[in-house]
Amino acid sequence: MLRLPRLDVLMPATLDEAVLALQSPGSRLIAGGTDLLPNLKHRLESPTMLVSLAGVRELSTITVDDDAQELVIGAGATLTTVEQCPQVRAHAPSLCSAAGLVASPLIRNQATLGGNVNLDTRCRYVNQTDFWRSAIGGCIKSEGTVCHVVPGGKNCVAAMSSDCVPVLISLGASLQLVGPNGRRRVAMKDYYVADGTRHTTREDGEVTTAVIVPLVSTPRRAGYSKWTVRGSIDFPLTSVALCFDLERDEVAAPIAGATVVVGVLGAKPRVVTRLDEVVGKSLSDPETAAIVAERVHRQCKPLANVPYEAPYRRQMLRVHTRRAIEALVADG
């Protein structure tokens, strides 16, 4: 059995106390713990104190701010809550889909959205017991100096494996962060960087307090496609978020803007470029799906970082992207 290392746990009741506690060396933030605790059992980190957000009530509310035209989801909301929340369903249905596809029902009851957007990157050579890793001498992200995915590589390319992140980026979401120097807001498309050992621009003492999704009044169709081997539990092996703004509220209408974001490549989600070609085309035109699928296939190159054949995953990106658009069209 894998055991947790010995550590202290602090349960602050307010955000200010949590931010303060995080300033002491060796402390580490924990929300649902469904990512952090396995990583601690695998001895990937060795904090001496966990600062739990479980008692910070102010973080778990979900509200619609009519003045700012924003959906504000507290970082402490569980994925089950996000999936089932009527306000999220009304304004960001693709986020409900993604949240509802994470892991398994039990994990979603425990896991938070704040933890999901800060989920550590994953790799078949690092998310293992320290005993297993010791047989290959670790790697850049653990005890070693080399990368097993890109031999000779100096940079860790562990995969950003969150289901919600590609969707949130496709919806133009931002994060609210609070730290010792006050609060700031950062667009999620700028939050992630291509370094698997530290893949966000979050400062050590900062807490993500909310995920903010702008409301739109124009017609839109958005969806999320995730493929895994099993129907439950698994992290995504292909992950594609799509968002189409339309000129009228019907799938035959011309596209006014398209955003496609792909996860589980390297440490940073990829925003697919050169989609202007489908602007003006009808969403239901089969050529639209073919063009977008082709762009995704061309620009996204899965690596051997997660446990499944990378060439197959690349082929599937094309198929699943096309099918995701077909599903949006079929839904009307």
Partner 1 sequence: MALIQREALDREDPQRRVPIAEAFWWAEEDHGLLGEVGSYNTPKDRHGEYRGGTIGASPAYSFTAHIADLSVDVETGVTTVHKVWVAHDCGQALSRRIVEGQMEGSVYMGFAEAIMEEHVVDPEHNGEHTGPSLLDYRMPTFLDTPDIEALIVEAPDAQGPYGAKEAGEGPLHPIIPAIANGIYDAVGVRIDRLPFSPPRVLAAIQAREAEVAAGHVQPHKTNARRAG
Ligand X SMILES: Cc1cc2nc3c(=O)[nH]c(=O)nc-3n(C[C@H](O)[C@H](O)[C@H](O)COP(=O)(O)OP(=O)(O)OC[C@H]3O[C@@H](n4cnc5c(N)ncnc54)[C@H](O)[C@@H]3O)c2cc1C
Site for partner 1, rule CB under 8 A: 124-125, 127-129, 132, 135-136, 148, 229-235, 307, 309, 311-312, 315-316, 319
Our finding on whether 15 is near ligand X (CB under 6 A) is: no
Site for ligand X in 41-100 (CB under 6 A): 53, 75, 79
44 lies in the site for ligand SF4, by CB under 6 A: no
Residue 125 engages ligand SF4 in binding (rule: CB under 6 A) = yes
Quick check: 196 binds ligand SF4 (CB under 6 A)?
A: yes
Q: Are 29 and 12 in contact (CB under 8 A)?
A: no
Phi-psi region of 250 (alpha: psi -120 to 50; beta: other; left: phi over 0): beta
- What's the N-to-C CA distance of the chain in angstroms? 50
Calculate the alpha carbon distances from 244 to 226, 268, 327 in Å.
18, 22, 13
- According to CB under 6 A, which one of 4, 233, 252, 327 is a site residue for ligand X? 233
Q: Is 284 exposed, middle or buried (0-12, 13-18, 19+ CB in 10 A)?
A: middle
Judged by CB under 6 A, the residue of 227, 235, 244, 308 near ligand X is 235
32 binds ligand X (CB under 6 A): yes
Q: Which of 330, 248, 236, 249 is nearest to 289 (CA)?
A: 330
For the purposes of burial, counting CB atoms within 10 Å of the CB of 243, is it exposed (0-12), middle (13-18) or buried (19 or more)?
buried
User: Would you count residue 126 as binding ligand SF4 (CB under 6 A)?
Assistant: yes
Applying the rule CB under 6 A, the residues between 170 and 209 that interact with ligand X are 207-208
Minimum distance, C-beta of residue 221 to ligand X, in the bound complex (Å): 23
User: Around Cβ 301, how many Cβ atoms within 10 Å?
Assistant: 14
Q: What does 147 interact with, of ligand SF4, ligand X, partner 1, none (CB < 5 to 8 A by kind)? A: ligand SF4
Contact footprint for ligand SF4 (CB under 6 A): 123, 125-126, 139-141, 147-149, 156-158, 196, 305
